[in-house]
Structure 1
Amino acid sequence: MTAAAANESKQLVTLAVVGCGQRGEGYASYALKEPYLCKVVAIAEPRKNTCQLFAQAHNVDDALVFNHWQDLLQASAETIETLGRRLADGVIVAVQDNMHRDVVMAFAAQGYHILCEKPMATTARDCFDMEAAVKKAGIIFGMGHVLRYSPYTKAITEIIRSGTLGELVNAVHVEPVGYYHFAHSYVRGNWAKETGSSFSLLTKSCHDIDILCHWLLPATPIRVSSFGSLYHFKKEQKPAAASGALRCLQCPVERECPYSAKKIYLDAVCRGHISWPVSVLVDGVPDIENVTYALQNGSYGQCVYESDNDVCDHQVVNIEFSSGATASFTMVAYTSLICERQTRLHFTNGEIVGDMSTFTVTDFRTGRKTRHYPNNEGGGHGGGDLGLVSAFVEAVRSNNQARLDTNVGEILKSHLTVFAAESSRREGRVVDCAEYEKGARMALVA
């Protein structure tokens, strides 16, 4: 039997997508790639053009296209009441971070299996609420910790689990966010302010802390320390020659500025580039006219030194695990690489050095070096986006949480490590992870 024929024989998993922006579109692309395995049958998205384009791409029936997630939830409730079934098997939650709790809990209560974009939620309290809701509903729950699911990471994980290099003693992991990526998302964009979203270690790097915790299992984090700040993207760093300019299109030194919105967005459109990050600026297909309007009137055209942002642009985290192993993580904005992580894993009998595309294994006992080139079959995060959705679909089809190689309790634990690290940064002390969780749970009860 061919692979295509085998896929056709499998039960089709149906999905509803709540939030049809970049992440929702990226996850849903798996349904277009593997139409015999899953199909998007319902969507909720407030932006008219974005909603229309998404519905057309997935051939969603007009009756199942909604402007608000609560309208989708209501239609689902009516279908459950009258027909005794849900609108879909699972829901992909790809709305803004501070909405995750409400959306997940609502659809979990109706019995939907859920794949939630990272982070789980923006507060520890909300994460606890979600864990309780998922466990009570008994549903499959996946988290957008996409680094776990790329062919690259899975190949490294297999070597770690095999024990062929001995015990993993230390991990050094760096996320180079990228200078214009950080300016786009964390200075001008949706994740610029903690009050509108959360701190950048959570919103950007929770899946980096998660992969470190995953690699070092069954050991768990016991102590964490962290340092970092908003170093550069603030008014006192503004070049004097920029004078009183508030927007890039009016700035006299725009040409020399690496964060020029004209360079990042308008010049890109002029070259025919209409995907990320330009696509984020408008509802629908970007063109010169609507991107120019966005730069003249919206946050993406503001000077990065005059923007209303407050999240860290660089941060380091050190973790001690129950096994005695240690890990260090660095998140930094000022890089030419865009999210192409570099990792060094040190074992008792060897090491692994990788760059998210290839990795080299050195065996100290033989002196042999082996270069690995995992096959990336496409999709964001080195194939991790589609790998995650594939695992979620199989978990739903088989009603087996283990297909995701994680569970809601483990997902919560890695998030709590992130919250503990941020507490360390703010309070200037080493944080005991067990004490932090105990305190967070006591506050929940109070």
Structure 2
Amino acid sequence: MSPPVRLIVVGAGCRGEIYSRYSIIHPDRAKIVGVADPRKFARTKFKHMYKLEEENLCEDWRILAEREKCADAVIICTPDSLHKEPAVAFAKKGYHVLLEKPMATTAEDCIEIVKACRQSGVMLCVGHVLRYDPTFRRIKELIDSNVIGDVIHIQHLEPVGFYHFAHSFVRGNWRNEAESSFSLLTKSCHDIDLIHQWAGTRRCLKVTSFGFVSHFNPENKPTGASDRCLDCSVEDTCPYSASKIYLGRVKKGHIGWPVSVICPNSLPDIETVTEALRTGPYGRCVYECDNDVCSNQVVNMEFEGGLTAAFSMVAFTEDICKRKTTIYGSKGELSFKDNEIRVFDFLTQKATKYVANVGCPVKFGMSGHSQADYSLIDAFISAVTHNDPSLITSGPEETLRSHLLVFEAERSRRENRVIHMDHSGSLK
């Protein structure tokens, strides 16, 4: 039996907590030995959950990075704009790196992270959890087994969800590009990465994109509305009311996401959530926030061999992140909706339904991608245990290529033109 993989966690927020739970389920495979987070509440929580020594609870990750190497790997779940520094520092120190997506908020920083990992000979696993989702893995297997022949066109939709977008991208951490990044990167790099994976070895040649900041702006503020939902006379007519989204859930006993996010230093209850809405960013009117990221965007791509792909992201949906996909091939058509894969064969004119293999033994992670969260951290731990990077499907080079495609798509939107992809030297 191999000893458990020793892990340092940098950023003990929602994502850091989720990945760390793996060590509770499998104490024989993984062990949390240190945490870095500027919040005392988060560090104390980790201390009790994982029985950490006081000296291994740090406000600043640099304290752990500058010490003699004391773990096998690091899980980095800091805010997006703060990914590069710890990723590069720990890689240079010889730690294998699990890095939450996106890799970084600039193409240059992404390239630097990959170079640091390559030069240090450490593994890099990026948190593209959709690659590890059982259903999307099954789709990839079906494509590779040629059941629909040559892939000709990919149509992929990400419905973000009306209250999810209001929570994360209007009031929350990803609302403002200067503080985080553009929404195609922070929300939808998952989806561009899936399209990139489905295209196989074919490189993207051209990309174009259009997108807008729709509806969530001052001119759409209802007459008589206040700047905060708790004081608003028309709150009961607003679907984006913070009282409905947060207090309504607490009253029903729901204290997980998104309620847990607005009380990062305490356990959510009626009093703490009410105070957070009264004084914090999540209680603001959605029409009076400093949001500037796209709420709806389309990306069109041309790959080698005549493969085309179209991606759409939209905020204003009933479904919350329930992707819808249709892949058109020369021999058949594959569609995915509501966790069901259907393949229609042109020759037999018959449809076959496929079921994905479920690999998560327990409830794990966020409700939207519990299976994928588990499979990702399981793959990373296995790769470190056996020193086998092939077990990671979201490795450095391919992930970098899909990130660069995202950056070029956004450049197309800003410059209002078709971008011809340059594949010369980005990985040198």
Normalising by structure 1, report the TM-score.
Answer: 0.91
Distance 2:228 2:394 in 1: 45
Letter in 2 for 1:289: E
Give the alignment partner of residue 352 of structure 2, picking from 370, 377, 380. 370
How much identity, in percent, do the aligned residues show? 46
Residue 340 of structure 1 corresponds to which residue in structure 2?
Answer: 322
1:416-440 Cα deviation digits (max 9, x unpaired): 10000001101111100117x77x8
1:304-324 Cα deviation digits (max 9, x unpaired): 000011000000001110121
Residue 145 of structure 1 corresponds to which residue in structure 2?
Answer: 128
Residue 64 of structure 2 corresponds to which residue in structure 1?
Answer: 72
Distance 2:345 2:16 in 1: 41
2:31 is the alignment partner of 1:39: yes
* SS of residue in 2 equivalent to 1:106: helix
2:332 is the alignment partner of 1:350: yes
Letter in 1 for 2:130: L
Distance 1:116 1:204 in 2: 15
2:92 is the alignment partner of 1:109: yes
2:241 is the alignment partner of 1:249: no
2:400 is the alignment partner of 1:412: yes
1:108-163 Cα deviation digits (max 9, x unpaired): 11000000000010011111211211111110100011100011111111111111
1:323-350 Cα deviation digits (max 9, x unpaired): 2101111110001111111111111111
Distance 1:73 1:231 in 2: 42
Shift of 1:268: 1.1
User: Where in structure 2 are the equivalents of 1:294-443 lying within 5 Å?
Assistant: 294-355=276-337, 357-376=339-358, 377=360, 378-379=363-364, 380=366, 381=369, 383-434=371-422
Distance 2:26 2:329 in 1: 38
Shift of 1:185: 0.5
2:254 is the alignment partner of 1:273: yes
Change (3 A) 1:356 1:96: farther
Give the alignment partner of residue 189 of structure 2, picking from 206, 218, 228. 206
Q: Give the aligned CA root-mean-square deviation in angstroms.
A: 1.6
Contact in 2 for aligned 1:356/1:382 (Cα 8 Å): no
Contact in 1 for aligned 2:128/2:394 (Cα 8 Å): no
2:51 is the alignment partner of 1:59: yes
Contact in 2 for aligned 1:53/1:284 (Cα 8 Å): no
Residue 19 of structure 1 corresponds to which residue in structure 2?
Answer: 11
Distance 1:401 1:130 in 2: 16
2:240 is the alignment partner of 1:259: yes
Normalising by structure 2, report the TM-score.
Answer: 0.95
Contact in 2 for aligned 1:104/1:114 (Cα 8 Å): yes
Residue 6 of structure 1 corresponds to which residue in structure 2?
Answer: none
Change (3 A) 1:164 1:429: same
Residue 113 of structure 2 corresponds to which residue in structure 1?
Answer: 130
Contact in 2 for aligned 1:151/1:374 (Cα 8 Å): yes
Segment of structure 1 superposing worse, 281-290 or 202-211? 281-290
* SS of residue in 1 equivalent to 2:21: helix
Q: List gaps (5 residues or longer) in structure 2.
A: none
Aligned length: 421
Contact in 1 for aligned 2:131/2:393 (Cα 8 Å): no
Residue 189 of structure 1 corresponds to which residue in structure 2?
Answer: 172
* SS of residue in 2 equivalent to 1:319: strand
Letter in 1 for 2:391: R
Change (3 A) 1:441 1:90: closer
Shift of 1:356: 5.8
Distance 2:20 2:268 in 1: 21
* SS of residue in 2 equivalent to 1:317: strand
Distance 1:168 1:12 in 2: 42
4+ runs deviating over 4 angstroms: none
Distance 2:26 2:427 in 1: 42
Q: List gaps (5 residues or longer) in structure 1.
A: 1-8, 81-85
2:147 is the alignment partner of 1:159: no
Distance 2:258 2:60 in 1: 24
Distance 1:223 1:115 in 2: 30
Distance 2:409 2:166 in 1: 23
Shift of 1:281: 0.9
Shift of 1:295: 0.6
Contact in 2 for aligned 1:27/1:386 (Cα 8 Å): yes
Shift of 1:375: 4.3
User: Where in structure 2 are the equivalents of 1:212-223 lying within 5 Å?
Assistant: 212-223=195-206
